[in-house]
Structure 1
Amino acid sequence: MPYVHIRVTEEGVTAEHKRQLIEGTTRLLEQVLNKPPASTFVVIEEVPTDNWGIAGETVTALRQREGR
């Protein structure tokens, strides 16, 4: 029973994006590992950019510096 946990920052991930991630991940596990879709679990967690750090600073700070 595969369990896949996808973490992304909260930056415009739509319901359609999530649907595609769940569908694609499930299909990949079926193709590569022959795992049945009915027993494959995919969880998508959106993390606030203040709680995600890269190279010693938050994604919020990085995005502000980039002008986003």
Structure 2
Amino acid sequence: MATYVITGRNSSNEPLVSVSISGISQDAPVIQEIDAVNALREFLGGVAGVQFVAAQKYEQVITNV
């Protein structure tokens, strides 16, 4: 799974709050990871003072040579 960083920023584009999601454990696929990220983005968008919310996705790519 990828790691996500969701950041809420004010009108001056300064970060107010940042949340990291490093893993979602599921025995069977119940939710898509992007649905969890979008739910958190929506939540942060409703926080007082937050004007913009951005999510960044980080993935590790391993190559065998």
TM-score range, shorter chain: 0.3 to 0.5
Instruction: Provide the TM-score with structure 2 as the length reference.
Output: 0.39
Higher relative contact order (Cα pairs below 8 Å, separated by 6+ residues): 2
Larger radius of gyration: 1
Compare the two structures and name the one with the higher strand fraction: 2
